[in-house]
Structure 1
Amino acid sequence: MKNIIKTTIITAFISLFVLSCTDDFEALNTDPNGLTEEQSQSDFLFIGGPFRPIFLNIYRYAPAWHTQLQHNLNADTFCGYMAPPRPFAGGQNTTNYAFINFWDQWAWDIPYSSAGVMNNVSLIKERGEKDFPLLNSVALILKVEAMHRVTDVYGPIVYSKYGQSSTFAEYDSQQEVYNQFFAELDQAVATLSTDLTNEQFNAFDLVYGGNLEQWVKFANTLRLRLALRISKTDPSKAKTEGEKALSQASGLLSGNNDNFLIQGGLEHPLTRFNSSWDDVRMNASMESILVGYNDARGPVLFEESAVTPGSLKGLRSGLPLLPAYATELEQKADYIGFSRLGNSYINDKTPTTDIQLMTAAEAYFLKAEAALRGWTGAGDAQSNYEMGITTSFEQHGAGGASSYIADNTSTPSDYVDPVGSNGITAVSNITIAWNSGATNEEKLERIITQKWIAMFPDGQEAWSEFRRTGYPKIFPVAVNNSGGTVDSNIQVRRLPFPASERNTNPQGVEQARTLLGGADNGGTRLWWDIAGGNF
C-alpha cells in the first residue's frame, strides 16, 4: 500500500470535518446516541435502555462525519450509488483505492465502541437472557443485522469470543461468523414465536413499535439474504437456511409497511452530506441505469442536475485531483452542480429521519433468486421479480410500473461527463422485461440490477451483492491508486483490517490475516466471494 497519509493531508481532512461539526473523537465512547448509567438504571430502562444505542449505531446517526467514514466514502461509492464531488486528500483516497487508514477503521470502530452494537448486545444478554428472553432475542436479530455488515467489509471479525479474552481479541473466520448468525437467528425466532403478542418491547422498538411478529418476518428475510450470500461458497448450507426462511410460519416482509426503517428521529446523515456539506452526488453508474431505463424512480431518488438542466447527471467514482484544477475545492465547484440525492435527503425539502436497512421489495428479489436456484417455497422467479419492481415503485410513489416491467428494449446508457473527459461506454445491455428463455445468469443480472435500484440508499448491502454476483455491471473507478493490489475491472473486494485494530490487537490481526487466506488489502476476496459465474 502506498504511504499516502501524510500529516498535512490528515490535518486538512480532519479540519474539514471539524468545520462541519464540533464533535471530537471521544464521541466513540461518549456517544450522544448512548445512555448514562443513571438513565439506564431507572425503571425498565435497565434492560431496554441499551436498545437505543444499538438502533442508532448500526448506521450511525450522529455525528454525521462518523457515518461518512463508516459507509459513505466506501460502500456507498464502491457500489455505484454515490460519489464525492471533492477529490479528498489530494485525490488519493479510499474511493480510488489509495486506502486511508483513518477513513477505513470506522466501519469497525463504531460497532465495537462502548456505545456501539456489540457492547450493548452483551449488556442485554447479561441483564436479560434469563428473565427477559424476548428482548434478548430481538437483540440477537439486531446483532446479526449489524455485524453481517461488518464481516462483509473486512472478512474475519471478533464475534463468538467478544469480550472473553484478557490478552487479545480473538477472531472468527467469516464462515464461523455466518454459521453463528444462522444459529442466533434460530434461537431468536424460536423464542419470539412462543409469545408473539407480548408487549414488553413496545417502549424501546424504533422499527416495529413492539410488534414481535414483524421482528420474526424481518429475521426470516435476513436469513434468506444471508443464505443467498453464501450460495456459491456453501450451496448446501445456503439451501437449508434459505428454505428454513421460506417455510417459517410468520413469513417474509411482503408490503411496504413491513420495511425495516429505524425511526431515530434525528437528521439522516445523508442529508448532511448531500445538502449541507455538498459532499455527495449521484454516481455515473446510477445515472447510466436509471436514465437508460427511463426509470420513474430516478427523479424521486435524485434531483435534476444544475449542470444539465432537466436531466439527472452523475459523476464517476474515484476521480483524482484532475490536472485542470489547482485545489480540491476548485474541482468540487465544477462538480457540485451534478445531481444531488432527492428530496428525502435535502434539508429544506422533505428530509427523512428514517434509516432504511431492508425493504419488502428486496424480499421479492431474494425470492426470485431463490426460485432460480430451485429452493422449495420460493415461488415463481418471474412473479417475484415483477412484484419486487412493483413494490419498489409503490414505495417511492412512482407511476408506470406496468409499462416499465414490460419494457424489453431500454438498456443502460453511455455516460458523458459535461465538465471533464471522464465519459465511458455503458457496460451492460441488460433489458428490464423478464425473458423466460434466457439463461439463469441473464435472469440473475435482471434480478440483481432491479434489487440494486430498490435497495437505495443502503450502499453496504448493494456493494455486498455486487461482489457476490458481479451485478449490476457498474463503471470502474476513473483512476486506480491501489498500486496493483486491486484490479480495476474486478473492483474493490474489502477494506484492510483497521489501523485501530492493528495498533491495539496485533496478535488478533495476525490471526485474522491467516483466516482471511490472502493478502490484507482491498483486492482479496472474502469467503463468500467466489470468482466466476453464479450457476
Structure 2
Amino acid sequence: MKNFLNKSILFFLGIFTLSCTDGFDEMNVNPVEPTEIPPGMAVGNLLVNGNIAEWSRYQQAYTLYSSLYAQYFANTTNYFASGRYIMNLGWVDYGYFRPQYWEATRMYEDIKAYAEKYEGYENHYWIARIQYELSSARTTDQIGDMPYTEGGRGFDYPQYDSQEFIYNSVLAGLDSAYQALGDYPDQATYGGEDVIYGGNLEKWRKLANSLILRYAIRVSKVDPELGRKWGTLALSRMLFASNEDNASIMTDPHSYMRGHPLFEVAWWNEFRMSKTMQEYFTQESTTVDPRMYLYFNKVDKEELTAQEFAQYQNLNDQGRLVDFSYEQDGNLYNVEFYKGVENGLSANQVPALGNNPADNSNIGPMFANNSRYMVMSYAEVCFLKAEAALLGWGGNAEENYLEGIRASWDYVSGLSESQSFISAARDGQLDMEAYISGLSPFAGNEMERIQTQKWLAVYPDGCEGWAEYRRTGFPIMNKIVQDDSGVDLGDGFIKKLPYTESEITINAENALNPANNQGQGDGIHVRVWWDVD
C-alpha cells in the first residue's frame, strides 16, 4: 500500500479490508472485486451518481422524498403517496442505497485499488475519497445507521455502523484528503472527466474543508466538543471564498439521463412549489423575495372567475404576486401569479381547484436542461460561518448571514438561464437590497433568521434542507394536511427514511437490530443521531 494511504487515520485503514469474492443482493448484487480501470474512467460515475445527479434516481431520492419533507415542493398527483408519509421502500433503494453502494462505493474502491497498485495517482484517490465521504454523509443523514465499512464491499450480510461512527470517519477522511491534496501539487490529476472542478486541486481542498464545517455544525448539538474541534479547524483553513468556488456538476443534455435532473423531472407535473415556500417568499420581508421569480415560474391563466379568484386572495397579502390585464364583472383576464400547494394533500384533494399542477408554480427560469447541478455553494458556507459565530467559534454572525443572502442572490441572478427573465422584469421586482432592508431583525432571532435564509439558499437540495430542518426546527414548517402513515410521529413530521425491503428481507439480522439508531430500531418516527431536539 502506498505511503499516501497512511494519511488516513489508523482505525479507518482497518475497517476497509475487502472481501472480494462474496456476492451481494440489491446493495450487494454483482461482483464487487475492484476492477482495474484507470481512475479517469471511474470518476465520472462516482461524481454523478454519488451526488444523485441522474434524473431517475433524483426523482426517487428528492422529488418523491427529501424535497417534499424539506417542503420545497408538494405533490400534485394522486398516484404518489410519499407526501402523506406512505413509504415505498423501492424508492429508498433506488434513490439512496444504489447510488451509495452500487456506484459511489464501488467506483471509489476501483480508484483506490488502482492508486494502491500504480504510482502517481495520489490526487486521483483523494478526490475520490472526498466524494465518497460526501455520499456517505448524505446517505446516513437520510436513513441513520447504515452499512458503511462493509456495505458494497462484497459482504453478504454487511453490518450496520452507527451514525456517530460514520460521522467521525467522514470528518477524519475529509481532513486526510484536505492535507494530502496539498502534498502533490505538481502531480497529474483528473481533467475533463472531473465534472465538478476539472481537476483543480485547490478547489477540491476548499470543498473538503467546507464539508468539514458543514458536518461540524451538523454534530454541534449532539456532540458540542466534536463539533468545536472540527469546526474551529475548518475555520482556520481554506473555505469557499466566493461563488467561483461553488461545487457543481456539469450536466450533459445530449447524454442519456444526464441533463439537469430537476429540469428533466419537473415537466412530469408530479410536484409544484409548496405553500410553505410561497409563504416564506412573501412573509420574511416587507418586499417579495426576488429569488422567487427565478426559483419558480409564474402560472398563466387567460381568465379567472370571481369565484376562482377568491381562492387566490391570499396571494396579494404581501404585494405583487398576482398581475392581470383587466377586470370585468369581477372576473380577471390575462392573469399571472405565483402560487404554492399544501404538502400532504389527500388523493381526493389533489385534483381540486387550486391544487393541481396547472394552478401552481413549476420550477423557474434559473433551471435549464444544461444548467450546472449544485453540490455545495458559497452561500451555504456563509450561513455555516454565521452559525459557527453563534457557537463561539469565531467570526461575526450577522455579517456572514447577510453575505450568505447576497451570495445566494448573486449566484442565481448571474446564471445565464436567468438573464432573459431579469431583462424583462418590472422595476423593483428584483431588488435584493430592498428585500434585505425589509427583513425581520436579526438580533434576538439569530438561529431562526440564519436557518431560514440557509434553507432558501440551498434550494433545491432537499437532502440538506430536510436535514437542517430536523436538526434545528427552522424554518418553521406547516404540518402536512393528511398523514396516512399510521405511525405516531410526535410533532407530526417524518424523522428519517426506513431501510429497504431487500435489507429487511436479506440482511434482517443487521437491518432489524433493535440497537440501531441509538436503540430506537428503524422507522419513520426514529430520530437519527444528530437530531436531538
TM-score (norm 1): 0.79
Alignment of 1:211-290 (within 5 A): 211-248=200-237, 251-265=238-252, 266-275=258-267, 277-290=268-281
Q: Tell me how far 1:490 sits from its aligned partner.
A: 4.6
2:407 to 377, 380, 391: 391
1:136 pairs, out of 106, 122, 125, with 125
Tell me the distance in 1 between the aligned counterparts of 2:217 and 2:82.
28
Change (3 A) 1:202 1:191: same
Find out whether 1:83 has 2:74 as its counterpart: yes
Contact residue 514 and residue 520 of structure 2 kept, 8 A: no
Do the aligned partners of 2:275 and 2:342 also contact (CA within 8 Å) in 1?
Answer: yes
List per-residue Cα deviations over 1:263-302 (Å, max 9, x = no partner): 1323112112212x11221011100001223101110000
Go from structure 1 to structure 2 and tell me whether the alpha carbon gap of 1:304 and 1:183 turns closer, same or farther (over 3 Å shift): same
User: What's 1:16 paired with?
Assistant: none
The one-letter amino acid of 1:316's match is E
Q: Please, which of 381, 385, 389 is the counterpart of residue 371 of structure 1?
A: 389
Match of 2:376 among 344, 350, 358: 358
CA distance in 2 between partners of 1:228 and 1:133 (Å): 29
Q: Does 1:158 align with 2:147?
A: yes
Determine if contact 1:54/1:142 at 8 Å carries over to the other structure.
Answer: yes
Residue 509 of structure 1 and its aligned partner are, at CA, apart by 0.8
Partner of 2:315: none
Selected match of 1:503 from 502, 505, 519: 505
State the alpha-carbon separation in 2 of the partners of residues 331 and 102 from structure 1.
32
Displacement, 1:497?
Answer: 1.0
- Given the superposition, is the C-alpha separation of residues 333 and 455 from structure 1 closer, same or farther in structure 2, using an over 3 Å criterion? closer
- Residues 1:464 and 2:467 aligned together: yes
2:85: which partner in 1?
97
Q: Aligned in 2, Cα 1:103/1:203: closer, same or farther, shift over 3 Å?
A: closer
For each residue in 1:306-357, what CA deviation from the matched residue of structure 2 results, as whole angstroms up to 9, or x when unmatched?
Answer: 366433100111111126xxxx778898343310010234xxxx44442111
SS in 2 for 1:261: strand
1:365/1:447 contact within 8 Å kept: yes
Cα offset for 1:188? 0.6
Give the match's secondary structure for 1:525. Answer: coil
Q: Comparing 266-275 with 396-405, which one deviates more in the overlay?
A: 396-405
Q: Aligned pair in 2 of structure 1 residues 243, 129: CA closer, same or farther (>3 Å)?
A: farther
Matched, 1:193 2:215: no
Per the alignment, residue 400 of structure 1 pairs with: 431
In the TM superposition, what is the alpha-carbon distance from 1:205 to its structure 2 partner?
Answer: 1.2
Aligned-partner Cα distance in 2 for 1:486–1:144: 30
Conserved? CA contact 1:243–1:375, under 8 Å: yes
Letter in 1 for 2:261: P
| In 1, Cα distance between equivalents of 2:248 and 2:263 | 16
Residues in 1 aligned to 2:521 and 2:279: alpha-carbon distance in whole angstroms: 33
The match for 1:382 is 398
Q: Which runs of 5+ in 2 are unaligned?
A: 1-24, 253-257, 302-321, 323-334, 414-421, 423-429
Q: Distance in 1 between matches of 2:153 and 2:77?
A: 43
Query: Quick check: 307-316 or 456-465, which moved more?
Result: 307-316
Name the amino acid aligned to 1:407: G
Residue 47 in structure 1 maps to residue 70 in structure 2: no
**One-letter amino acid matched to 1:182:** L
- Asked if the contact 1:196/1:211 (under 8 Å) is kept, the reply is no
1:124 pairs with one of 111, 116, 126: 111
Q: Which residue of 1 aligns with 2:199?
A: 210
One-letter amino acid of the counterpart of residue 473, structure 1: I
> What's the counterpart of residue 57 of structure 1?
49
Q: Give CA-to-partner distance per residue, 1:421-445, whole Å, 9 cap, x none.
A: xxxxxxxxxx2x423xx1xxx2010
Contact 1:86 1:331 in 2 (8 A): no
Identity among equivalent positions (%) equals: 29
How many corresponding residue pairs?
Answer: 449
**Shift in CA distance, 490/253, structure 1 to aligned 2, threshold 3 Å:** farther
User: Which secondary structure does the structure 1 equivalent of 2:147 belong to?
Assistant: coil
Q: Relative to 1, partners in 2 of residues 1:30 and 1:356: Cα closer, same or farther, differing over 3 Å? A: farther
Give CA deviations for 1:49-73 in whole Å, capped at 9, x if unaligned.
11111111124344x3332112211
| Equivalent of 1:306 in 297, 300, 311 | 300
In structure 2, distance between residues paired with 1:207 and 1:403: 34
Match of 2:364 among 336, 342, 359: 342
- Structure 1 counterpart SS, 2:142: helix
Alpha-carbon contact 1:273-1:280 (below 8 Å) kept = no
Q: 1:405 to 1:184 in 2, by over 3 A?
A: same
The one-letter code of the counterpart of 2:346 is P
For the residue of structure 1 that corresponds to 2:159, the secondary structure is: coil
TM-score relative to the length of structure 2: 0.79
Residue 195 of structure 1, CA deviation: 2.4
The Cα of 1:512 is off from its aligned counterpart by 7.1
Partner Cα distance (1:280, 1:461) in 2: 19
Deviation at 1:521, TM superposition (A): 1.3
In 2 relative to 1, CA 332–81 (structure 1 residues): closer, same or farther, beyond 3 Å?
A: same
CA shift, 1:519, in A, is 4.1
Shift of 1:106: 2.5
Aligned to 2:170: 181
Shift of 1:113: 4.6
Please list every run of 5 or more consecutive structure 1 residues that lacks an aligned counterpart in the other structure: 1-25, 32-36, 409-430
Q: What secondary structure sits across from 1:357 in the alignment?
A: strand
- Aligned-partner SS, 1:281: strand
| 2:289 corresponding residue in structure 1 | 295
Tell whether the 8 Å contact from 1:199 to 1:211 is kept in structure 2 after alignment. Answer: no
Q: What is the distance in 2 between the residues matched to 1:106 and 1:317?
A: 23
- Give the superposed CA RMSD: 2.6
